[in-house]
Chain A
């Protein structure tokens, strides 16, 4: 949460950093979502004949999910920054719970599942909170993956062994490891490029410590992922013709992917233009928009593939009445780690 100001040599707490742009962005976005949610609600009540009611329903459900997530985000932001970490921990825990419920496991996996839910998942978020970069980036892919394989082997049940450990590892990786990179953004020390000419990256004089708030960066990512999801959805329904993989997801089209990604890039540049919320240049913001949009689509495609394989429509309906957290965060899980690492690679304070 603290970054070293290399010029003056003082430590500036990120609390001091201006939260203004983040609050503006989140507030504006919440307002737009609320308006769209209300419109969807009215459209459903009125039974408009010009629009397909199923489309309205799907749209309304998405908006509702996004609205809930952003409201919780705003609330935790108002209380204390650490609550953002707690919030993502709870989301991870619930998503992993859904993932494992959907995946057939065997009796012998019981204790392995216990440890990944109650040891590795909380540990990952504690490490993020303690800002132990060199630990939270390796604990799950190295220690937990090997642990899962060995622990299942020790149970003396060879049936579908590889399949079982792969499922547990993947669930842990996507629901916990990947998602934990979103709150990890909060603890980055970043620089921004303030040079006048396009100089090589290693020329440090071209960079100055970034004064903005990392909370803003997290909110920027959340908004970007959700908006690119919506854009992809709208492009699919409006102009989409070429379905990418009909057996996996019958609604995702190439037009949606490309159109959505381009619009997301423009959207990202516009945020950069009107709100000084990221440490990126305008070109960087555009590229980040593209990357996030493509990763978000990849995430939902991957989760669709898993759902089709398991023969479920939504993670939410696999046990009736549950809200389906995993459905809401699938795109986020893929976008967050890439966003984190690209940002860190280029702009980490040396």
Chain B
């Protein structure tokens, strides 16, 4: 079943979003990566995920909010199809920590898709980043942190809409980055944010 639904969904996502994928100073690779992107639409994870080559796609898991993606059978099914990594955003403690959960889940095999802004930004502007990305980079310095800029998807399906308007969108995948030595959280998050903004101009 999954063999059919996954490519079918990927195809639908591609047609709906008319997405062009550009790799700028970055090549598709099966090495472990964290793709971090701006979050403007529900389709973000789906389109970004389906725009990756198949071998990479099978090894890449979108990180999503557990409360949202487990409410209702359709969402739960979708989360299963994409092998999504569901994260508790309500009940965070030292023991139940999303970053540790991510690191545990990806082991030495999977890559991740994360949206460091946390939730969709209705204005389409790039908001402040949550600190998860910094901790991921700190605890797993071997992971390549890859910035992704998603353009126009907020017009395809804005927050609060169910019906898509299939405009043409564009996904730009930029050069990998790592946490520099001596860089603190604020500096790093700002640099990561700028990396996405820089892709907007290219």
**Is there an interface contact between B168 and A319, defined as CB atoms closer than 8 Å?**
yes
Is B29 among interface residues, defined by CB-CB distance under 8 A?
Answer: no
Is A111 among interface residues, defined by CB-CB distance under 8 A?
Answer: yes
A261 and B22 CA atoms in complex are apart in Å by 41
Identify which of B161, B164, B169 contacts A319 (C-beta below 8 A).
B169
Q: Mark B144-175, 1 if CB is under 8 A from A, else 0.
A: 00000001100100100101111111100000
**Is there an interface contact between B20 and A320, defined as CB atoms closer than 8 Å?**
yes
| Chain A 238-289 residues near chain B, CB threshold 8 A | none
A322 and B165 CA atoms in complex are apart in Å by 18
A40 and B155 CA atoms in complex are apart in Å by 39
| Chain B 161-202 residues near chain A, CB threshold 8 A | 161, 163-170
* CB within 8 Å for A105 and B155 given contacts A320-B20, A321-B20: yes
Which residues does chain B contribute within 8 Å of A98, judged by CB atoms?
Answer: 168
Which residues does chain A contribute within 8 Å of B167, judged by CB atoms?
Answer: 97, 100-101
**Is there an interface contact between A114 and B165, defined as CB atoms closer than 8 Å?**
yes
Which residues does chain B contribute within 8 Å of A160, judged by CB atoms?
Answer: none
A97 and B158 CA atoms in complex are apart in Å by 17
Question: In the complex, which residue of chain B has the Cβ closest to the Cβ of A108?
Answer: B158
Is A107 among interface residues, defined by CB-CB distance under 8 A?
Answer: yes
Is A291 among interface residues, defined by CB-CB distance under 8 A?
Answer: no
Is A113 among interface residues, defined by CB-CB distance under 8 A?
Answer: yes
Is B18 among interface residues, defined by CB-CB distance under 8 A?
Answer: yes
Is B53 among interface residues, defined by CB-CB distance under 8 A?
Answer: no
**Is there an interface contact between B168 and A117, defined as CB atoms closer than 8 Å?**
no
Is A2 among interface residues, defined by CB-CB distance under 8 A?
Answer: no
Is A110 among interface residues, defined by CB-CB distance under 8 A?
Answer: yes
Identify which of B18, B158, B163, B170 contacts A107 (C-beta below 8 A).
B158
**Is there an interface contact between B20 and A101, defined as CB atoms closer than 8 Å?**
no
A97 and B169 CA atoms in complex are apart in Å by 11
**Is there an interface contact between B20 and A322, defined as CB atoms closer than 8 Å?**
yes
Query: Taking the nearest CB of chain A, how far is it from the CB of B36, in angstroms?
Result: 21
Query: Taking the nearest CB of chain B, how far is it from the CB of A171, in angstroms?
Result: 12
Which residues does chain A contribute within 8 Å of B170, judged by CB atoms?
Answer: 319-320
| Chain A 84-130 residues near chain B, CB threshold 8 A | 97-98, 100-101, 105, 107, 110-111, 113-114, 117
**Is there an interface contact between B122 and A107, defined as CB atoms closer than 8 Å?**
yes
* CB within 8 Å for A322 and B163 given contacts A97-B168, A105-B155, A107-B122: no
**Is there an interface contact between B22 and A320, defined as CB atoms closer than 8 Å?**
yes
A98 and B168 CA atoms in complex are apart in Å by 7
* CB within 8 Å for A97 and B20 given contacts A107-B158, A319-B152: no
Which residues does chain B contribute within 8 Å of A318, judged by CB atoms?
Answer: 168
| Chain B 59-114 residues near chain A, CB threshold 8 A | none
Query: Taking the nearest CB of chain A, how far is it from the CB of B20, in angstroms?
Result: 4
Question: In the complex, which residue of chain A has the Cβ closest to the Cβ of B164?
Answer: A114
Query: Taking the nearest CB of chain B, how far is it from the CB of A335, in angstroms?
Result: 26
Identify which of B122, B158, B161, B165 contacts A100 (C-beta below 8 A).
B165
Query: Taking the nearest CB of chain B, how far is it from the CB of A346, in angstroms?
Result: 40
* CB within 8 Å for A101 and B163 given contacts A107-B122, A319-B20, A321-B22: no
Which residues does chain B contribute within 8 Å of A107, judged by CB atoms?
Answer: 122, 158
Which residues does chain B contribute within 8 Å of A113, judged by CB atoms?
Answer: 165
Which residues does chain A contribute within 8 Å of B151, judged by CB atoms?
Answer: 319
A105 and B158 CA atoms in complex are apart in Å by 12
**Is there an interface contact between A319 and B166, defined as CB atoms closer than 8 Å?**
no
Query: Taking the nearest CB of chain B, how far is it from the CB of A172, in angstroms?
Result: 13
Which residues does chain A contribute within 8 Å of B164, judged by CB atoms?
Answer: 114
Which residues does chain A contribute within 8 Å of B122, judged by CB atoms?
Answer: 107
**Is there an interface contact between A114 and B155, defined as CB atoms closer than 8 Å?**
no
A100 and B166 CA atoms in complex are apart in Å by 10
Which residues does chain B contribute within 8 Å of A100, judged by CB atoms?
Answer: 165, 167
Task: Using CB atoms and an 8 Å cutoff, list the residues of chain B in contact with chain A.
Answer: 18, 20, 22, 122, 151-152, 155, 158, 161, 163-170
Known A-B contacts: A101-B152, A111-B163. Give 16 more (CB < 8 A): A97-B166, A97-B167, A100-B165, A100-B167, A101-B155, A107-B122, A110-B158, A110-B165, A114-B163, A114-B164, A319-B151, A319-B169, A320-B170, A321-B20, A321-B22, A322-B168
Q: Name the 3 nearest CB pairs between A and B, nearest first.
A: A321-B20, A319-B168, A113-B165
A-B contact pairs, 10 of them (CB 8 A): A97-B18, A97-B167, A105-B155, A107-B158, A110-B161, A110-B165, A114-B165, A117-B166, A318-B168, A321-B22
